[in-house]
Every structure is written in structure tokens, then in C-alpha cells.
Structure 1
């Protein structure tokens, strides 16, 4: 549990975002439960009405109100799920920004000898960020001007238990 301490401290620095994300998850859950309950009741009521009609007993069922409720819960679940995903992903990206800012503050205040000791396979992804995605590994094709960068990773044991990112090109010829 001690290993989670810094991560939990980082998450709880934004309690409003944590609560809002939790409420959006709760709204998604409640809409899903409402959809399940109403559609289950509707199917059961329709089946009972059909059995009663088959037995010759006078029975009726309102199809429009439960149908409208099912549509409401389905749309509410979809909207709440979308909002929850967008909001919580934004929260995670903000947390990653906090981590990177803290890392760069420590690197900028560290002496040169300390920075040279911090070099290792775990630091380049944090330092380089998304720069590799901004560069195109292949030049544009001279005739069509189209380029298709392809990124693949080799994560096999023969790669020394490391993932090696390989860039290649797929060119479009006319």
C-alpha cells in the first residue's frame, strides 16, 4: 500500500475532478440499472399479457410509456457514459501533466552530475513526450505527396525484455 501513496496523493490533489468523475460513473450505472429494470419488467408484462390473451382472459398493456422509458434510459446511459469517458480521460491527462511538470522541475533544479546519473530507459519516454508522433518518419512520395507512417513495436524476449519501437513507411504509388 505504501507504493500507492504518491499516486493517491496526486489524485487527491484534484478532489473536485475525482468527485465529478465518480458522479458521472454513478449516473451511467443508474441509467443502466433503470434500463435493465424497465426492459425486464416490460418483457415480463408483455409475456404475461400474451399468456392471458392466449388463455382467453381479457388483458391489455400500454406499449408506449414503457417504450419511451426504455429509450430515455438507453440515451441517458449512452450520454452519461460518453461524458464520463471524456471527463475522466481529461483528468488522467491533467495528472500526467502534473507528473511531467514535477519531473521537469526536479530535473531543472538538479545539478549536471545528478542529471547525467538520471539517464536510463525509464526517462526518455517522460522527457520526449509526444515528439516522435509529431515527426514523420518517411518523406512524402514525390508524385502523390502521400505518406503513411507505420509504427510497430517488437516486444519479444529476443528484444531483451524491452519494447523496441520501429518506424517504417508505406508509400502510395499512382
Structure 2
């Protein structure tokens, strides 16, 4: 989605990082927060609108926030534009959460793994099935996934380091 040329990719990411946490905003707010020049900021905003991640709102004058000169363009993140997936892939269960771009949980499902939970092919198939099931419950599809993160259990010592031997307990 954000496969722009390298020099503009950083501007897109900076603008998206800002928009993620902002409510409705004007381009000057985005420029101040990101340090981008006006032309670069506007280009990034327009590109994010083209990607479908932002929407342009009625200008500041139309909502009574501006009265002199050229009215400022206003924007906001489209939280429904895509989804993110988080999965806790525990040893005996899979907990899958699908959320919109503002972090609103759309669906969460827990799947208990059967006796063959250690078999890599069975586990991979269970992960894919759990993701597909959670997406279905959220009313979304794979094509709408912007990012996914899967946490897996691993033995660690009191300093957060994994033991060198995978079968070692390592817990202190």
C-alpha cells in the first residue's frame, strides 16, 4: 500500500503516524507535527487520500473554524479503511483480535489447539484458519489487512533473554 518512491515513503509514514493519533486536523497541524514542508505535507496527504487511508472533510470555513483568507483543508484518518490483526499464539490456544485503524476491536476469537498442536503444518493451518475466522466474524477480508502481528511463547530468563538450548528451562 505504501510502496511509494523511497524519498516520499518517509513523508507518507510521518503523515500517517501523525494522522493515527489525530482527530480531524488541518494541514498546518500536520506540518508542525511532522516537520514537513507545505508542499511535501500536501503531497503526502493527497497520496494517503488516494490510498483510501485518509478522507478530506469540509474545509475549516464550512464548519465555522476559519473566517479570513483561503480556508484550510481538513482531514481525518479513515479507521474503517483497513484492519490490523493481533494474535497470541500460545502453546495450547490461539487468541486472534481484529481491530480497525483506531484500535477498536471488531472481533476476537479464541481457538483451543488439539493434540497435534506441536506439528508445524497443523499449527500453521490452525493460525491461518483462526485469522480467517476472526476476519469473517469482523465482516472483513484478507485484502483489508494492513498489518498483522503474532506473539509466540518462548522461554526467557529474568533478564528477558532466551536460553541457547531450546529445551532448557532458562527461567530464574
Higher fraction of helix: 1
Q: Which has the larger radius of gyration?
A: 1
Fold equivalence (TM over 0.5): no
TM-score by length of 1: 0.19
Higher fraction of strand: 2
